[in-house]
Amino acid sequence: MFELLTEKFSGLVEKLKRAKRLDERTVEEALKDIRRALLEADVNVEVVQQFIKDLKGKLVDRELIKGLTAGETVVKLIYDEVLEVLGEHSPLQKPEKTPGVIMLVGLQGTGKTTTAGKLARLLKSKGYTVAVASTDVRRPAAMKQLCTLAQSIDVKCYADEDEKDAVKLAEKFVKQAENDGISYLILDTAGRLHIDEELMDELVLIKSRVHPVEVLYVADAMQGQDAINTAEVYHQKVGLTGVILTKLDGDAKGGIALSVRRVLGVPIKFIGTGEKIEDFQPFYPDRIAQRILGLGDIQSLIEKMQAAIDEDKAEEMAKRVMNAEFTLEDLKEQINMIRNLGPLENILKMIPGVGSKLKHLKVDEKKFIKIEAIINSMTPEERRNPQIINGSRKRRIARGSGTTIVDVNQVLKQYKEMKKLMKKMKKSGKMKLPFNLPM
Ligand SMILES: Nc1nc2c(ncn2[C@@H]2O[C@H](COP(=O)(O)OP(=O)(O)OP(=O)(O)O)[C@@H](O)[C@H]2O)c(=O)[nH]1
Ligand SMILES: [Mg+2]
C-alpha cells in the first residue's frame, strides 16, 4: 500500500538529506518534486495546490529546526504537512444507546460486505458484542454472502429473505439487536453501479429511522478520484461521518487517502488492505505519513505483535527456556505465535528500510506448516523427550505428517541446535527471547 508515494518520497527524502542549506533552490526543487509525486499518485489537484502553497509558506525564509540539518528540516515540515492533510485520528463513535448502528454505504463492488465482516471481527476482538445485517433486498445472494462471512467469525447475522422493504428490514434488525444486547450493529446496504435516486432515498429513509452513530462510505481506492466524486454525492444526499478505504493493497496509487479529508471534510476511519478478513485496520494518520515518507511503520508492527502474543505465555516460555526445559511442544507454540501475527512478509515489510527492498519478497509459510505438521504427528511423550525418537518412530511421524524422514531429521536437528544455544545463553546470561526461530 502507498508504494508509489513511498517510492517517490523516499527518493526525495534521500536527496534532501544531503542538502546543506535551506536556500531557495533547494526549496523550489523540493516543492517541484513533491508536486509531481502527489499528482502522479492521483491526489486531488486542488489538494495538491493547497499542499504546495502551505508548505512553501512554511519553508521560505525559515530557520532550521534545532538539531536538524537543512534537509531534515524540510522532511520534518513535509511530514507535518502530510499529517495536516490527513487530519487527526478519528476513532469510531461510541453509541449513546445500544445498539450503535454503523451503516456502510457505497457503489457496487467497492467492498461493503467484506468490510462489514472485517469491521465486525475487529470490534469483536475489542470485546464488543457485534451483529451484522444486510438491507440489500434486490440481490438474492446478498444476505447469504454476509451471513456466511459472519458465521466464519462467529458473529450474529440477521436476515429475512421475505421482507422486501429495506427500511422495514433495517428497523426490524435494530429491534432484534436491541433484544440481543448488541453494542454495534453493522448494516450492510445495497450497492449500485451508478448513483440512483431510488437508492439514495432508501438510504436517507433508513438513516432517519435507525439513527446510526456512523454512516461510512466504503470507497474503492483503485477508483482514485472517481471514488471521491461519488462520495461527494453520497455526502450531500445522505450525510457521511467517515470513509473506509478498501483495496489499498492493489495497484491503487494511494492519492485518494490524501484527498478525502480536504475534499469531503470527513475523516478516513479504516483501511482495507487485502481480501482476507484480517486485512483491515484503523486509519492512523501518523503511521500513514511515516509510511509514505518511508520512515517505517514501527508502531503498527509493535501493536500487531502485542495483539497476537499472549504475554503470559511468552513469559512462561521464557522461564522454561531459561531452565532449558524448552520442548518441541514449546517450539510449536512459538511458531504459532509468530504465525498469528499474520503473513510474515507483511510484517517484514513494515520494518524500516526493509519495506522498499523486499518489494517482491515472499516468505515460505509452507516451511512453518511443515514443522507444525511434523510436531503434531509426534506423541506427547516424544515431544517432551525427543531422544526416544528412533528410526521406526521417525518413519511413523513422517508418514503421519505427509513429510519425509529427512524433514523430520531436520526439525529435530534444528530443535537440538536451538536448545544448545539456549543452554549457552543461560550460561552467559544473554537472553533475547522468545523470538529466535531457526531461520
Ligand atoms: N484486494 C482487496 N480486495 C477487496 C478488499 N475489500 C474487498 N475486496 C474484494 O472486492 C470484491 C467485492 O467485495 P464485496 O464486499 O462483495 O463488495 P460490495 O460492496 O459488498 O458489493 P455489492 O454488494 O455488490 O455492492 C470481493 O472480491 C472482495 O474480496 C480489499 O481491501 N482488498
Ligand atoms: Mg455486498
Whether residue 263 is found in the same domain as residue 158: yes
Last residue of a domain, one of 62, 86, 110: 86
Distance 112 CA to ligand 1 centre (A): 6
HSE (side-chain half, CA atoms, 13 Å) at 19: 24
In this structure, is residue 105 part of a structural domain? yes
Cell numbers given for 51: 499542499
Place of cell 510436531: 375
Distance 119 CA to ligand 1 centre (A): 13
Cβ(117) – ligand 1 distance below 6 Å: no
pLDDT score at 426: 63
Q: At 328, phi and psi to the nearest 5?
A: -65, -30
Atom of ligand 1 nearest to the CA of 272: 31
- Find the distance separating the first CA and the last CA of the chain, reported in whole Å: 27
Last residue of a domain, one of 37, 56, 86: 86
Whether residue 178 is found in the same domain as residue 266: yes
pLDDT score at 374: 92
Cβ(189) – ligand 1 distance below 6 Å: no
Distance 270 CA to ligand 2 centre (A): 18
Say which ligand is closest to the CA of 273: 1
In this structure, is residue 436 part of a structural domain? no
- Three-class SS state of 215: strand
Asked whether 293 and 75 are in contact (CB, 8 A), the reply is: yes
- What is the CATH number for 74? 1.20.120.140
Average pLDDT over residues 111-139: 95
In this structure, is residue 145 part of a structural domain? yes
| pLDDT tens column, 364-407 | 667 778 888 999 999 988 988 888 999 999 999 999 999 999 99
pLDDT score at 432: 44
What are the CA-CA distances from residue 420 to residues 178, 334, 358, 416 (Å)? Answer: 58, 17, 32, 6
Closest CA to 128 of 162, 98, 166: 98
Cβ(273) – ligand 1 distance below 6 Å: yes
In this structure, is residue 297 part of a structural domain? no
pLDDT score at 298: 38
pLDDT score at 436: 38
Cβ(269) – ligand 1 distance below 6 Å: no
Q: What range defines the domain where residue 24 resides?
A: 3-86
In this structure, is residue 433 part of a structural domain? no
Whether residue 123 is found in the same domain as residue 230: yes
Task: Give the range among 38-52, 67-81, 309-323 with minimum mean pLDDT.
Answer: 309-323
Q: Calculate the average pLDDT of the chain.
A: 84
Whether residue 72 is found in the same domain as residue 205: no
Distance 118 CA to ligand 1 centre (A): 11
Asked whether 148 and 133 are in contact (CB, 8 A), the reply is: no
Whether residue 241 is found in the same domain as residue 328: no
pLDDT score at 301: 40
Whether residue 255 is found in the same domain as residue 115: yes
Whether residue 120 is found in the same domain as residue 261: yes
pLDDT at 2 > cutoff 60: yes
Whether residue 179 is found in the same domain as residue 250: yes
CA distance 363 to 345: 6
HEC per residue, 21-65: CCCHHHHHHHHHHHHHHHHHCCCCHHHHHHHHHHHHHHHCCCCCC
Atom of ligand 1 nearest to the CA of 188: 20
Strand residues in 283-352 grouped as ranges (E)? none
pLDDT score at 286: 86
HSE (side-chain half, CA atoms, 13 Å) at 120: 29
Average pLDDT over residues 293-321: 56
- What is the CATH number for 150? 3.40.50.300
Whether residue 79 is found in the same domain as residue 215: no
- Tally of domains in the chain: 3
Whether residue 115 is found in the same domain as residue 47: no
| pLDDT tens column, 40-70 | 988 999 999 999 999 999 887 777 666 666 7
| pLDDT tens column, 197-221 | 889 999 999 999 999 999 999 999 9
Q: Is the dihedral of CA 32, 38, 41, 44 positive or negative?
A: negative
Whether residue 336 is found in the same domain as residue 380: yes
Kindly give, in sequence order, each residue whose CB lies less than 8 Å from that of residue 294, ignoring residues fewer than 6 positions away: 6, 9, 10, 13, 352, 355, 356
Cell numbers given for 40: 502522479
Distance 89 CA to ligand 2 centre (A): 27
Last residue of a domain, one of 252, 284, 316: 284
